[in-house]
Amino acid sequence: MKINNIVTTPYLDQKPGTSGLRKTVKDFQKRHYLENFVQSIFNVATELKGSLMILGGDGRYYNTEAIQIILKMAAAHGVREIMVGQNGILSTPAVSCLIRKYKAAGGIILSASHNPGGPDGDFGIKFNIANGGPAPTAFTDAVFNLSKTLDTYQIVEADDIPLDKLQTCGIGNMNIAVIDPVNDYAKLMESVFDFPRIQSLFSSGLFTMCFDAMHAVTGPYAHRIFEQQLGANVDAVINGMPLEDFAGGHPDPNLAHAKELVAVLNSGGSAPDFGAASDGDGDRNMIIGQRFFVNPSDSLAIMTANAHHLPGYRLGVRGVARSLPTSQAVDKVAQAMGIDCYETPTGWKYFGNLLDDKRITLCGEESFGSGSDHIREKDGIWAVLFWLNLIAIKQQSVEEITRSHWSRYGRHYYTRHDYEAIDIDVANALFDNLRGKIQTLHGKTYFGNKVVLCDDFSYTDPVDSSITTNQGIRILFANESRIVYRLSGTGTQGATLRVYIERYITDTSQHNEPTQTMLAELIQVAADIAQIPQRTKRTTPDVIT
């Protein structure tokens, strides 16, 4: 086995965001760009030497080429064995499952999640540690610091490994297992949910579903689990073939991008009873009923309130966590249940310590992500199975389950307004202006709503005492309404300003109003306080969810 030491020049833009390094495909195709970042990972993750590593991605453009490079670099760095998904496919939840089940030292996931794919789209790479979750900030900071001074990387001279068939092979002293990407994950789902109970939904012939895989990674998982194992209707899965460019679509499971699914569920009498979608790498989900959308924040609250009905959670929910911008709907449930509810920064890695320390059982984010202690990633297929299992138990529709929840706990009207691809300097100036207003906003009243708290959110991890600052500007009102501003770290072009607005209503007679109507005054307040039209030259957001 010949190991080559390749001379390289460092790139200074390889700072990982909340979900690893995301750039355009063209960036990753630059000379030595991918290799530099992978070398930096191996330099930090020295535990990979002599150990098992998991490798796979969402099948987007450049996925297979990147896998071949990483395999050869792993061999050069003494990795003992790699498990890689057939055709390079592994969902992010499946990688977490495999790391935990086979006690791997870590895993590399190739995905830009919900970002567009194809030659002109985006690509991404992140490292998951031995607990199955995303690497913590200390790790990603170390990788970034090394990448800025890197001058060589190591790679083995070897032929590419065929990934289209299940096999065991090797490069030098490193064993490679090309595995079925679905098997282990499907077995885990069977242990968490009551599959016979869900099967009874479909065997009755009275219940149908539609799952939109958006031509992304969850297609094989959905076909196997929903259609083959659970016996769902034959047309239950749409857009189930993973494609390098996601058929030109934007694999983000929300009302703006899953338009085909929304149209099917809004089609009247012929509509399926249940609809769902997942994203590029399979960790996000959208749940909808007939002409009825479930806000992800409400979904987390409903899961928390009902988890004890499901086999995997019959011992109860220890606690729950949500990200800062996620609505406070789950807080009401936790209060009623007498369990802890943690508010964390955005990014799934912040839930890892809470899960490992057994402080929480469930967690979620408003950005269509929810999960539990079964793995250390958010999990789209898991969320769909959770809802199917709940429907089978309660014998109620998606809308009936949600409205019953609102009747008991109140409704949090909630929306997110995204202003995409803003010039970074403009976005930073907008936030600097907001931070300057923090002290002056306290006590002010807008449309009868008094500000009782305004701050730049910081988080002290209750497990390791690490401190994370500058996570978003939040404004809390006396009537439990909120406005939160954040700059997103998941895009590749400019900056994305996200504005989150929520209003809490207990009066059930007001639970049927359009969300944007109920939030209109607060939407105006949010725009005025941040001076969004003046500073961004945008009068409307690019995406509303």
* 94, 211: one domain: no
Q: Which has the closest alpha carbon to 60: 96, 18, 22?
A: 22
Q: Which of residues 151, 181, 211 is at a domain's end? A: 181
Q: Residue 488's pLDDT is what?
A: 80
One domain for residues 422 and 314? no
For residue 45, the domain's CATH number is 3.40.120.10
pLDDT value of position 494: 81
Residue 493 DSSP code:
S
pLDDT for the residue numbered 388: 98
Residue where a domain terminates, one of 364, 384, 409 = 409
The SS3 call for residue 323 is strand
Cα separation, 219 vs 181, whole angstroms: 11
CA dist 72 and 39 (Å) reads 11
Give me 207's structure tokens.
Answer: 């219940």
Residue 224 and residue 285 in one domain = yes
Q: Are residues 385 and 448 in the same domain?
A: no
The CA-based angle 294-182-302, given to 5 degrees, is 20
CA distance 307 to 330: 13
Helix (H) or strand (E) holding 211: strand 209-212
> How far separated are the first and last CA of the chain, in Å rounded?
52
Burial class (CB in 10 A: 0-12, 13-18, 19+), 292: middle
Q: How far apart are alpha carbons 151 and 174 in whole angstroms?
A: 25
| Neighbouring C-alpha atoms within 13 Å toward the C-beta of 212 | 30
Query: Does 433 share its domain with 366?
Result: no
Q: Are residues 195 and 146 in the same domain?
A: no
- What DSSP state is assigned to residue 161? P
Looking at the structure, do residues 475 and 373 belong to the same domain, yes or no?
A: no
* Total domains present in the chain: 3
Question: pLDDT truncated to tens, each residue of the chain (545 aa)?
Answer: 899 999 999 999 999 987 899 999 999 999 999 999 999 999 999 999 999 999 999 999 999 999 999 999 999 999 999 999 999 999 999 999 999 999 999 999 999 999 999 999 999 999 999 999 999 999 999 999 999 999 999 999 999 999 999 999 999 999 999 999 999 999 999 999 999 999 999 999 999 999 999 999 999 999 999 999 999 999 999 999 999 999 999 999 999 899 999 999 999 888 999 999 999 999 999 999 999 999 999 999 999 999 999 999 999 999 999 999 999 999 999 999 999 999 999 989 899 999 999 999 999 999 999 999 999 999 999 999 999 999 999 999 999 999 999 999 999 999 999 999 899 999 999 999 999 999 999 999 999 989 999 999 999 999 999 999 999 999 999 999 999 999 985 555 689 999 999 999 999 999 999 999 999 999 999 999 999 999 999 989 988 88
Check residue 491 and give its pLDDT.
52
Please check whether residues 443 and 476 belong to one and the same domain.
yes
Shared domain for 9 and 132, answered yes or no, is yes
Return the pLDDT at 269. 84
Q: Which residues contact 472 (CB under 8 A, 6 or more apart)?
A: 324, 325, 345, 346, 456, 457, 484, 485, 486
Task: State which of 181, 198, 228 marks the end of a domain.
Answer: 181
Q: What is the pLDDT, as a whole number, of residue 490?
A: 54
Q: 482 and 339 share a domain?
A: no
Range of the domain at 102: 3-181
Q: Are residues 402 and 433 both part of a single domain?
A: no
Predicted structure pTM score: 0.95
Separation of CA 102 from chain center:
23
Q: What is the CATH number of the domain that holds 484?
A: 3.30.310.50
363 bridge partner residues: 321, 371
Residues designated as active site: 113
Do 419 and 388 belong together in one domain? Answer: no
Over residues 68-118, the pLDDT tens digits come to 999 999 999 999 999 999 999 999 999 999 999 999 999 999 999 999 999
CB neighbour burial string for 308-322, b if at least 16 within 10 angstroms, e if fewer: eebebbeeebbbbbb
Q: What is the pLDDT of residue 489?
A: 56
